[in-house]
Structure 1
Amino acid sequence: MSAKTSPEQPLPVRTVLQMVAGWIGKLGTIWVEGQITELTARGGTVFMTLRDPVANVSARVTCPRGVYEVAVPRPVDGARVVVHVKPDFWVNRGSFAFTALEIRPVGVGELLARLERLRRLLASEGLFSADRKRRLPFLPGTIGLVCGRDSAAERDVLENARRRWPAVRFKVEQVAVQGPYAVGEVTEAVRKLDADREVDVIIVARGGGSLEDLLPFSDESLVRAVAACLTPVVSAIGHEQDSPILDLVADLRASTPTDAAKKVVPDVGEQLVMIRQLRDRGRRVVGGWVEREWSWLGSMRSRPSLADPVREIERRAEQVDQFRDRARRCLAGSLDRAEDGIRHLSARLVALSPAATLERGYAIAQRPSGEVVRRAADVSPGDELTVRFADDRVRARVEPADEG
């Protein structure tokens, strides 16, 4: 419980510090993981700083020399360890420190197992999926480079990129690429370049090193920061055989910093050769097309209808005359045949006409109704008949015939 205090009844410093020491002492012993820095030995005590591998947080550790010397292998600056400590608060100095009871270096096997668990976790979230990889711009205007201070990786990227395309521009962020500050500085540099609208692609480059040296580039916070970038990121960590987790989440992996420069920046010489080849191919295609069209135009001009247009008109005029003469002959023949038919028909009509019979001296007897009398038995005495001759007709009355 907190002590009741007031401006009139304050607690002395010693009492407050004793209370803090009491609260810290209740924590007991705990296991802590971190990275050793500032390792020194004085007399029978070894002093070191245990730094968090991700955050910029550290704590002082005092260790009896015997506890330090029994650790195998013996820890050195930069080593990653697991320490069994007892939190202590020194009342006289008002400072906090850990007292190490046991030190265990984190082995390569354990580091690899942790990296594999992290790799499976990130893969299950889809951060390594090829669908989320973005294509690099053909010719980036500005390239963001995250690298070590005055490092060979920086020189390799800059020299090879400018050799390929002299006008290329860079924004370089020099950071710690190993040690306790690497994760935070690299992450901050990546986020800064990603927020810069002028930067078209980001290269994270580092030369080769041991597994422990490359551990910052497999840190979960850095990997997730790269996955969240809107700008394409190229990972160029270590050499061909090195494979930090950053390689899997980046949009493109380069085997070396030099390879990164070749993949990000096009070669101006190669592009000029390509342009020349494409231009020559274009000329051949256009030339072939012009030749084909010119040949077609020549064949069209050589056709009779275009070579001698008047001759074609004359030929058509001759055809019209021929068709006209043929039509006249056909029509004349048809009229002649029709005239012959009419004459034959007229002759037949004349031959079959009753008028021709009457002209030979015959007559036709008809009743007033126009009925032709064919037999004498068909009339009676006193009946009036009309007798028709070839030229005229007369009326007659039927008289009884003499029996003699």
Structure 2
Amino acid sequence: MSPEALPERAADTTAESPWPVRLLSMKIADYVEKMSVVWVEGQVVQLNRRPGARTAYLTLRDADVDMSLSVSIHVNALDAMAAPVSEGLRVVVQAKPSFWTQRGTLTMDGRQIRPVGVGGLLARIEYLKRNLASEGLFDADRKRPLPFLPRRIGLICGRASAAEKDVVENSRRRWPTAQFEIRQVAVQGASAVTEVSEALRELDGIQDVDVIVIARGGGNVEDLLPFSNEALLRAVAAAHTPVVSAIGHDVDTPLLDLVADHRASTPTDAAKAIVPDADREHQIIDAGRARSRRALEGRLHHERRRLVELRSRPVLADPGAFVRVQREVVSALRTRAHRRTEALVHRHQDGIGHLRAQVRTLSPQSTLDRGYAIVQRVDGAVVHDPADLEVSELLHVTVARGDFGVRTEG
């Protein structure tokens, strides 16, 4: 296809009208060539300087994420540094981006290189500290308590480091059966942040790991810089498992100490924080047993004394005495009831006798006994007035001891 027939823009290309590789490479090179010189900060992870060569090559890596650029720089710029450039050094480089069309790679043409000073590093750490504090990552209420006795302890440390030995030996000296899940990683240099973060995520995903310790020995500001890295700090804040920071010595204060759930001044101090002291716990248990024994003995003595006092009471010393007393009370009540009943019966009998005498006195028979008689006509009507009688009228007379008939005379 002739150059005149090629599409002008990338958006106009099709499967039938594609750009050849050379054209795309040339267009990328033209675009990159228009970019201005830029200052870029990173960490030297690889330096290739051959004896006698006028150009050195280094790989500059981002301090927070796994991204890097290749930089070529004149050896005179390297020699102008106050101290030799070494791997792991934080630097700023003035460079011009360039695109190598033959291989399709982007490189940086370095013009100047300078180390990042300690003052600058501390200023950036202080700026990051203020930002994270404003987000609440240092707040005490988000820190989780450490377990009393973890099932398994996650440990992130350097390879064959003294920090690992301090944590493991001191932990097992305090609690001999302590179990560890250890991840040995780079704890300084360009890959420290990535390796520590990955180990943290791996240990956080293990179910029986109840606490994670990040430990390393002391060092200068540059050595401890990964433990003030924002990416690592956010990974620690996002972990579900409590994290213990055991970085350096008492005077070392990386930002990890503020984000972690617990700060240990040294790896040895971390061992004291993550497991209890078995001897001390035995002493506490023995003291508790002794207190319980004394309390139980005191309670038994008190109850025994009360039991003796109860048994010494008359009612328990002679149980029949109470029954006898009550029997006498019942007997007295029975006698009193019997007497009251008899008196009541006698009183009512006297009343009945009086009533009988009254009835007898008022009865018609009593009247007859005194000599009176009842005169009745044949039809039974009582005669009240002699004038009512007729001559020769038959009458019936009732007296005290019988009755008889009579006839009236004129």
Percent identity, aligned pairs only? 47
Distance 2:158 2:180 in 1: 15
Q: How far is the alpha carbon of 1:132 from its aligned partner?
A: 5.0
Structure 1 residues 352-373: Cα deviation after superposition (integer angstroms, max 9, x where no partner): 3332222111223456776655
Distance 2:367 2:100 in 1: 171
RMSD, aligned α-carbons: 4.0
User: Alignment partner for residue 381 of structure 1, among 386, 390, 394?
Assistant: 390
Q: How far is the alpha carbon of 1:181 from its aligned partner?
A: 1.0
Within the alignment, does 1:137 sit opposite 2:147 as a pair? yes
Aligned with 1:97: secondary structure?
strand
Q: Map 1:80-159 to 2 at 5 A.
A: 80-90=90-100, 96-101=106-111, 105=116, 107=120, 108-121=122-135, 123=136, 133-159=143-169
Alpha-carbon contact 1:37-1:51 (below 8 Å) kept:
yes
Distance 1:373 1:46 in 2: 175
Q: Map 1:1-400 to 2 at 5 A.
A: 21-38=29-46, 48-63=58-73, 78-90=88-100, 96-101=106-111, 105=116, 107=120, 108-121=122-135, 123=136, 133-240=143-250, 242-366=252-376, 373-376=383-386, 379-381=388-390, 386-395=396-405
Q: How far is the alpha carbon of 1:390 from its aligned partner?
A: 1.9
| CA 333–231 in structure 1, closer or farther in 2 if over 3 Å, else same | same
Alpha-carbon contact 1:157-1:261 (below 8 Å) kept:
yes
Q: How far is the alpha carbon of 1:187 from its aligned partner?
A: 0.8
Structure 1 residues 96-123: Cα deviation after superposition (integer angstroms, max 9, x where no partner): 43123455737132442134224434x2
Structure 1 residues 242-271: Cα deviation after superposition (integer angstroms, max 9, x where no partner): 554433443333333222211111111211
Q: Compute the TM-score of the two structures, normalised by the length of structure 2.
A: 0.77
Aligned with 1:393: secondary structure?
strand
Alpha-carbon contact 1:381-1:397 (below 8 Å) kept:
no
| CA 370–290 in structure 1, closer or farther in 2 if over 3 Å, else same | farther
Q: How far is the alpha carbon of 1:350 from its aligned partner?
A: 2.7
Q: How far is the alpha carbon of 1:227 from its aligned partner?
A: 3.4
Q: Structure 1 counterpart of 2:364, which letter?
A: P
Alpha-carbon contact 1:183-1:219 (below 8 Å) kept:
yes
Distance 1:203 1:39 in 2: 33
Distance 2:85 2:123 in 1: 17
Q: Compute the TM-score of the two structures, normalised by the length of structure 1.
A: 0.78
Structure 1 residues 322-370: Cα deviation after superposition (integer angstroms, max 9, x where no partner): 3333332222222222222222332333333332222111223456776
Q: How far is the alpha carbon of 1:53 from its aligned partner?
A: 1.0
Aligned with 1:200: secondary structure?
strand
Structure 1 residues 64-97: Cα deviation after superposition (integer angstroms, max 9, x where no partner): 5786788999987644344442112456787643
With 82-91 and 282-291 compared, the bigger mean Cα shift is at 82-91
Distance 1:80 1:266 in 2: 41
Alpha-carbon contact 2:236-2:243 (below 8 Å) kept:
yes
Alpha-carbon contact 1:34-1:53 (below 8 Å) kept:
yes
Q: Structure 2 counterpart of 1:226, which letter?
A: V
- Segments of structure 1 that go 5 or more residues without pairing to the other structure are none
